[in-house]
């Protein structure tokens, strides 16, 4: 069978809706063309941080220079070694019987200095081989261009706070479309700008700038410009080659802590700050930042004696360029938080949290995972999806991450329980509320390097033995559960107590 024929058979369908089968609790089924898959990211699984011409990324630099900021001084130098073992990964995908695989490309593996004048042929070879392997097995690739591993050379110029980075990102995207466009038809520009702008430039992730309410706003601004520019470039030059370009945003549900009007208002403002910051410019009818964010950051900047707002302004042309610049919304959803109104006085120090004006917490009774921030709250998924539906006129949504960490062990009934709850919540949002969701992606295929939390948190359907020379991967109970889900598209009736 020819290449193009194979890809057209397995292509992700963002176009048609099927009837649901949710009448009997024993047959909770997703539509026929709904796509199930799993996700990973380059820095978290590849290892091979300095081989065959790869450049240094900000996560290489950060984990090497500031090991005290990482759990147990660990790093991603080797991790699951998927650079060498990607064929093992693909055979696990085949075992699972998934329809798609979401992975990311390491920018410095392709362009060691970040710039497109020097392309690392070994980087091109690696991802071409991975894509060929996926295509040979009929697994649709969903490729993230940027999952946090910026070339260090670009960070030396200010990284995402430097306006010119948007041009370099467009150059990088062009190299990707030219080299991989014939084999990868669905692309995501960014993974969770909220995380890498707020936690990277405003906090403790690489580059660790800890400049909340200032550098995170600059980062978001240029990420949004870069995203819009890549989308327009694809529509102008690659529309015949590439099918879909979207962006992945992270949206935890934000529930008012009490029924008081203050807390209800604070929760809605928080949703606008956490989700609207990135989603409003792209998915709303009017474009630009959410009006409430503009209003609050402008006013608080003034109180703090800044001559201009800490939240940058788009030109009218930029508003137009960014508005509507996505074929679908990639949604990462893990957990839920409570919001209460912050009644304290505004300080003179810039901070995103004060600008947002809410205090974040979680209920003690919510079941725990092995990550401090992740509690099991399935109903928050349906609420998040409905908020997106109402706020942005029911956009096409693809779940690009959802999952849970546990301690080591192969019998992970608590993970199966998490999946059961969140999948039912998702199915209700689709079947009853008519949210337009086309696929679901579990994070993650296998245990991997969890950023500042090192290897201490395990999200995998497959366990990884980091001590063994070939990083042995072993399926957990949840892998068997997921296989049944992916193959039947119905939520398995599983015995959770075993
Ligand atoms: C995802 O982010 C990432 O896309 C993925 O790479 C990662 O492996 C996965 O989560 C699991 O962690 O440490 O208390 O400051 C999910 C959203 C936002 C969750 C930042 C952790 C930091 C909380 N993340 N958050 S804290």
State the pLDDT confidence band at 13, using cuts at 50, 70 and 90. low
- Residue 481 CA to residue 487 CA, distance in Å, equals 10
pLDDT of residue 5: 36
Residues 116-126, mean pLDDT to the nearest whole number: 98
- Residue 479 CA to residue 488 CA, distance in Å, equals 14
pLDDT of residue 494: 81
- Residue 95 CA to residue 98 CA, distance in Å, equals 8
Pick the closest to residue 210 from 407, 351, 393 (CA basis): 351
Q: How far is the CA of 199 from the centre of ligand 1 (A)?
A: 9
Q: Which residues are catalytic?
A: 401
Which DSSP state fits 124? H
Contacts of 135 by beta carbon, 8 Å cutoff, 6+ apart: 3, 6, 7, 10, 141, 183
Which atom, in ligand 1's list, is nearest to the CA of 372? 14
State the pLDDT confidence band at 496, using cuts at 50, 70 and 90. low
- Residue 340 CA to residue 255 CA, distance in Å, equals 9
Tokens (6 digits) for 353: 């949290």
- Residue 138 CA to residue 271 CA, distance in Å, equals 38
Residue 205 has pLDDT above 50, yes or no: yes
Tokens (6 digits) for 148: 């946090």
Q: How far is the CA of 340 from the centre of ligand 1 (A)?
A: 22
Q: Which of 334, 400, 464 to mutate for ligand 1's pocket (most ligand atoms within 8 Å of CB)?
A: 334
Please identify which residue in the block is written with the tokens 């009007």: 261
Question: Strands 462-464 and 473-475, how do they pair?
Answer: antiparallel
Residues 134-158, mean pLDDT to the nearest whole number: 98
CB atoms within 10 A of CB 261: 10
Per the DSSP assignment, residues forming a β-bridge with 340 are 359
Q: CB under 6 Å to ligand 1: residues?
A: 41, 191-192, 195, 199, 250, 332, 334, 372-373, 401, 443, 450, 459
- Residue 489 CA to residue 218 CA, distance in Å, equals 42
Phi, psi of 301 (to 5 degrees): -60, -40
pLDDT of residue 9: 37
Residue 15 has pLDDT above 60, yes or no: no
Q: Which residue has the CA at smallest separation from atom 13 of ligand 1?
A: 373
Q: Which residue has the CA at smallest separation from atom 12 of ligand 1?
A: 450
Q: How far is the CA of 82 from the centre of ligand 1 (A)?
A: 21
Contacts of 481 by beta carbon, 8 Å cutoff, 6+ apart: 416, 419, 492, 494
Residues 206-226, mean pLDDT to the nearest whole number: 98
pLDDT in tens, 156-203: 999 999 999 999 999 999 999 999 999 999 999 999 999 999 999 999
pLDDT of residue 262: 98
pLDDT of residue 288: 99
Q: What is the CA radius of gyration of the chain?
A: 22
Q: What's the whole-number average pLDDT of the chain? A: 95
Residues 97-115, mean pLDDT to the nearest whole number: 99
Instruction: Determine what percent of the chain is predicted with pLDDT higher than 90.
Output: 94
Residue 16 has pLDDT above 90, yes or no: no
pLDDT of residue 76: 98
Q: Which of 194, 443, 450, 458 to mutate for ligand 1's pocket (most ligand atoms within 8 Å of CB)?
A: 443
CA dihedral in degrees (348, 352, 353, 357; nearest 10)? 80
CB atoms within 10 A of CB 424: 18
Tokens (6 digits) for 203: 């906090």
Which DSSP state fits 207? T
Q: How far is the CA of 265 from the centre of ligand 1 (A)?
A: 26
Per the DSSP assignment, residues forming a β-bridge with 471 are none
Phi, psi of 414 (to 5 degrees): -70, -30
Of the listed ranges 9-13, 114-118, 132-136, 274-278, the least confidently predicted one is 9-13
Does the global pTM surpass 0.85? yes
pLDDT in tens, 237-255: 999 999 999 999 999 999 9
pLDDT of residue 426: 98
CB atoms within 10 A of CB 251: 24
CB atoms within 10 A of CB 435: 22
Q: Which residue has the CA at smallest separation from atom 21 of ligand 1?
A: 373
Q: Buried b / exposed e across 283-311, counting CB within 10 Å, b at 16+?
A: bbeebbbbebbeebbbebbeeeeeeebbb
Q: How far is the CA of 6 from the centre of ligand 1 (A)?
A: 35
pLDDT in tens, 374-403: 999 999 999 999 999 999 999 999 999 999
- Residue 62 CA to residue 208 CA, distance in Å, equals 8
Residues 229-239, mean pLDDT to the nearest whole number: 98
pLDDT of residue 495: 65
Residues 456-469, mean pLDDT to the nearest whole number: 98
- Residue 494 CA to residue 478 CA, distance in Å, equals 10
pLDDT in tens, 349-369: 999 999 999 999 999 999 999
- In the three-class reduction of DSSP (H, G, I as helix; E, B as strand; rest coil), residue 285 is classed as coil
Per the DSSP assignment, residues forming a β-bridge with 255 are 338
pLDDT of residue 11: 47
The per-type count for the chain, helices as H runs and strands as E runs, is 18, 13
Residues 441-470, mean pLDDT to the nearest whole number: 98
Superfamily of domain 35-488: Glycosidases (3.20.20.80)
Q: Buried b / exposed e across 143-155, counting CB within 10 Å, b at 16+?
A: bbbbbbbbbbbbb
Give kind and range of the element (H or E) at residue 329: strand 329-332
**Inter-axis angle of helices 82-96 and 121-136, to 10 degrees?**
10
Contact status, residue 358 vs residue 266, Cβ threshold 8 Å: yes
State the pLDDT confidence band at 66, using cuts at 50, 70 and 90. very high
């Amino acid at each position: 069978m020819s290449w193009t024929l194979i890809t057209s058979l397995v292509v992700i369908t963002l176009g048609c809706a099927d009837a649901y089968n949710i009448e009997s609790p024993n047959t909770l089924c997703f539509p026929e063309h709904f796509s199930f898959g799993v996700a990973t990211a380059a820095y978290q699984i590849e290892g091979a941080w300095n081989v065959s011409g790869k450049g240094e990324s900000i996560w290489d630099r950060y984990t090497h220079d500031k090991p005290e900021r990482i759990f147990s001084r660990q790093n991603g130098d080797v991790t699951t070694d998927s650079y060498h073992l990607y064929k093992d990964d693909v055979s696990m995908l085949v075992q699972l019987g998934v329809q798609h695989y979401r992975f990311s490309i390491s920018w410095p593996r392709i362009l060691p200095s970040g710039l497109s004048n020097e392309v690392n042929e070994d980087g091109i070879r690696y991802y071409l081989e991975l894509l060929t392997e996926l295509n040979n097995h009929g697994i649709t690739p969903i490729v993230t261009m940027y999952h946090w591993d910026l070339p260090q050379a670009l960070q030396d110029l200010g990284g995402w706070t430097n306006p010119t980075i948007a041009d370099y990102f467009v150059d990088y995207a062009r190299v990707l479309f030219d080299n991989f466009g014939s084999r990868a038809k669905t692309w995501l520009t960014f993974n969770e700008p909220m995380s890498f702008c707020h936690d990277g430039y405003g906090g403790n992730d690489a580059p660790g700038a800890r400049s909340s309410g200032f550098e995170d706003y600059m980062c978001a601004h240029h990420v949004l410009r870069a995203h819009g520019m890549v989308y327009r470039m694809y529509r102008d030059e690659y529309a015949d080659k590439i099918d879909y370009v979207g962006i992945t945003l992270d949206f935890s549900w934000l529930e008012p802590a009490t029924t008081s009007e203050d807390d209800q208002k604070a929760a809605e403002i928080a949703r606008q700050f956490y989700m609207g910051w990135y989603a409003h410019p792209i998915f709303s009818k009017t474009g630009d930042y959410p009006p409430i964010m503009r209003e609050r950051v402008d006013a608080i900047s003034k109180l703090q004696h800044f001559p201009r707002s800490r939240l940058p302004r788009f030109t009218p042309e930029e508003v137009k360029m960014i508005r509507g610049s996505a074929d679908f919304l990639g949604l990462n959803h893990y957990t839920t938080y409570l919001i209460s109104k912050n009644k304290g006085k505004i300080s003179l120090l810039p901070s995103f949290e004060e600008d947002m004006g809410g205090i974040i917490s979680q209920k003690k009774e919510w079941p725990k995972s092995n990550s401090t921030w992740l509690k099991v709250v399935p109903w928050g998924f349906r609420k998040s999806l409905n908020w997106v539906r109402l706020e942005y006129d029911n956009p096409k949504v693809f779940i690009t991450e959802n999952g849970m960490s546990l301690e080591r062990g192969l019998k992970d009934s608590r993970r199966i329980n998490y999946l059961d709850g969140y999948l039912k919540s998702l199915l209700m949002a689709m079947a009853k509320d008519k949210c337009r969701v086309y696929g679901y992606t579990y994070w993650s295929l296998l245990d991997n390097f969890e950023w500042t939390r090192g290897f201490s948190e395990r999200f995998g359907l497959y366990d990884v033995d980091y001590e063994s020379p070939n990083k042995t991967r072993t399926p957990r109970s949840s892998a068997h559960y997921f296989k049944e889900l992916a193959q039947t598209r119905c939520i398995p009736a599983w015995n959770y107590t075993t």
